[in-house]
Amino acid sequence: MSETGTLALVGGGEWQEGCSFDAELLKASNGDEVLVLPTAAAYERPERAVEEATRWFEGLGATVVGLDVLHRSDAEDEAKAAAVRAAPFVYLSGGSSLHLRSVLKDSLVWDALVAAWQHGAVVAGSSAGAMVLTDPMVDPRGGAFTVGLGLVSQLAIVANHDSWSPEKAHRTLELAPAGLPVVGIDERTAVIRAKDGGWRSAGAGGVTVFVDGRESSLDALPR
């Protein structure tokens, strides 16, 4: 993969104490504004996600702009796509990964997000927002695999890994395609891909990488 912007895959519990990496992401964006897409929270009071982000990033000296891409028609709106394309830092909130995927897949807003990242913007996703950015994606309903949006391919994320049931974890690892890195990310924790393709973890919790059912390291992730 060629050099892009910074990517942060957050395990959930976003915008609260312990998410020290957000200050680093702001610095990497060379800006002081974060564009929040509460798409995954469309049926869970999306305005609350924007309010939480606003409080958090104000404490870091930045402002938040919420962009209501809640339904498919929003994702095909030229003005909303232009806002995403121009943003230095785009953050996808948690919620429903399946709704998020259905809204964004093959849309103008998704194309704009990919273009922004490819031109150096920071992109972050938490929980559902992180899981959907990879392909394949872990299906939250049972832990099997389904199609993701594929900003990064040949990688799968298990968000909220510290509360993932042993049964679902076992099923996910059993069903994982051979050689696929599956990364369990705890809440308030991020796996961050730098512009040069290198990966690291940051935040309050832990990160566990599995390949073929065995623990591995971040070196197994695609560059």
What residue segments make up the domains of the chain, in order of their start?
7-220
What the block records as the tokens of 208 is 């566990």
Distances in whole angstroms, Cα of residue 113 to Cα of each of 11, 103, 116 = 20, 13, 5
| Spatial contact of 94 and 40, defined as CB atoms under 8 Å apart | yes
- Is residue 131's pLDDT more than 60? yes
Could you tell me which residues come within 8 angstroms of residue 166 by beta carbon, excluding any fewer than 6 positions away?
A: none
CA distance 159 to 93: 12
Residue whose structure tokens are 């730098």: 194
- Is residue 219's pLDDT more than 60? yes
Strand 156-158 and strand 33-37: the pairing is unpaired
Average pLDDT over residues 4-27: 97
**What does residue 104 show for φ and ψ, rounded to 5 degrees?**
-90, -25
pLDDT for the residue numbered 2 = 55
Write b or e for each residue in 73-102: b if 16 or more Cβ atoms lie within 10 A of its Cβ, otherwise e: ebbebeebbebbbebbbbbbbbbbbbbbbe
- Is residue 133's pLDDT more than 90? yes
pLDDT tens track for 19-42? 999 999 999 999 999 999 999 999
pLDDT for the residue numbered 102 = 98
pLDDT for the residue numbered 115 = 98
Residue whose structure tokens are 């895959």: 9
- Is residue 91's pLDDT more than 80? yes
pLDDT for the residue numbered 157 = 95
Run of H or E including 137: strand 137-138
Compute the C-alpha angle 86/156/125, nearest 5°: 30
Instruction: Report the candidate in 110, 73, 75, 74 with the shortest Cα–Cα distance to residue 90.
Output: 110
- Is residue 158's pLDDT more than 80? yes
Question: If pLDDT is split at 50, 70 and 90, which confidence band does 56 have?
Answer: very high
Question: If pLDDT is split at 50, 70 and 90, which confidence band does 223 have?
Answer: confident
- Is residue 151's pLDDT more than 80? yes
- Is residue 77's pLDDT more than 80? yes
Q: What is 7-220's CATH number?
A: 3.40.50.880
- Is residue 165's pLDDT more than 90? no
| pTM for the model | 0.96
pLDDT for the residue numbered 183 = 97
Calculate the average pLDDT of the chain.
96
